[in-house]
Amino acid sequence: MKVLLVNGSSHLHGTTARVIEEMLPIFAAEGVETEVIQLGAKAIADCLQCNKCKKTGQCVLKDDGVNDFVAKAKSSDGFIFASPTYFAHASGRILAFLDRVFYSNGKDEVYPAFQFKPAAAICVARRAGATTAIDDITKYFGIAQMPIAGSTYWNNVHGLYADEVHKDEEGMQTVRNLARNLIWMMRCFELGKQNGIPYPATENTYCTNFIKRNDNER
């Protein structure tokens, strides 16, 4: 089993990285493989909605690992997306990345690399706004049929810098519990597969934008 953990901060050794590091030994102790993906400090372009990916399944912008990530996601079983809180939202960096990851993988509202795989969002903050930032990231899970792993509190941990985040003892406990819960969910789904419980059928006949169009108007 494999979990991908995405760090949406520019800081390789910042608060978000420290929180991710708190979870890694828990996955390792349970024999779950992990890979941490650092989005880094370079700019990540926003989705162009050029729609080329709808034909090829690939994002045309080759700059920042979006296509590599989707390829890795296909053979992974669970996901953690972690970000600093910026003005009560997730980092623009991780949102630009996730827009392109999900848009390029999704067709007719089905997301094959992600559907039925559990995920969770974590946001770090100095003081406030982390829960709305978590909501930003959690939106991707809801549209992609991804079960959301919970913990013993919302997954926010406090610290302005990495060297103080360990003082938020409950926050760190929350992300350790989150790692355990994600492992448990992945194992349950795996056992379900092995015991003949099929994935649910997905209807995707309708994709409307609330406007009833007459095709002659296009």
Ligand X SMILES: Cc1cc2nc3c(=O)[nH]c(=O)nc-3n(C[C@H](O)[C@H](O)[C@H](O)COP(=O)(O)O)c2cc1C
Q: 139 in helix, strand or coil?
A: helix
Q: Which one of 43, 50, 128, 191 is in contact with ligand X (CB under 6 A)?
A: 128
Q: How far is CA 80 from CA 6, 53, 117, in A?
A: 6, 24, 11
Closest CA to 157 of 98, 82, 78: 82
- Residue number, 71 or 88, with CB nearest to ligand X: 88
Residues near ligand X (CB under 6 A), total = 19
In the complex, minimum distance from the CB of residue 18 to ligand X, in angstroms, rounded to a whole number: 8
Question: Nearest distance from residue 136's CB to ligand X, in Å?
Answer: 12
88 binds ligand X per the rule CB under 6 A:
yes
Task: Calculate the alpha carbon distances from 104 to 50, 119, 206 in Å.
Answer: 10, 19, 19
Residue whose CB is less far from ligand X, 50 or 128: 128
- For residue 93, the surrounding DSSP H or E stretch is helix 92-105
Integer-rounded Cα radius of gyration of the chain: 18
Q: Smaller CB distance to ligand X: residue 61 or 125?
A: 125
CB of residue 107 to ligand X, shortest distance in Å: 33
Q: Does 11 bind ligand X (CB under 6 A)?
A: yes
Using a 10 angstrom Cβ sphere, with 0-12 exposed, 13-18 middle and 19 or more buried, the burial of residue 95 is buried
Contact (CB, 8 A) for 114 and 79: yes
Query: How is residue 190 written in tokens?
Result: 């795996």
Q: Does 87 bind ligand X (CB under 6 A)?
A: yes
Cβ 90 vs Cβ 7: under 8 Å: no
What are 92's two structure tokens? 């623009």
Choose between 85 and 177: whose C-beta lies nearer to ligand X: 85
In this complex, which beta carbon is closest to ligand X, that of residue 19 or of residue 144? 19
Which residues between 14 and 73 bind ligand X (CB under 6 A)? 14-16
Q: Convert residues 153-182 into a mask of x (bound to ligand X by CB under 6 A) and - (unbound).
A: ------xx-x--------------------
Q: Check residue 127 for interaction with ligand X (CB under 6 A).
A: yes
Taking CB under 6 A as the criterion, the residue among 40, 92, 112, 129 binding ligand X is: 129
What does the binding site for ligand X look like in residue numbers (CB under 6 A)?
9, 11, 14-16, 84-88, 124-129, 159-160, 162
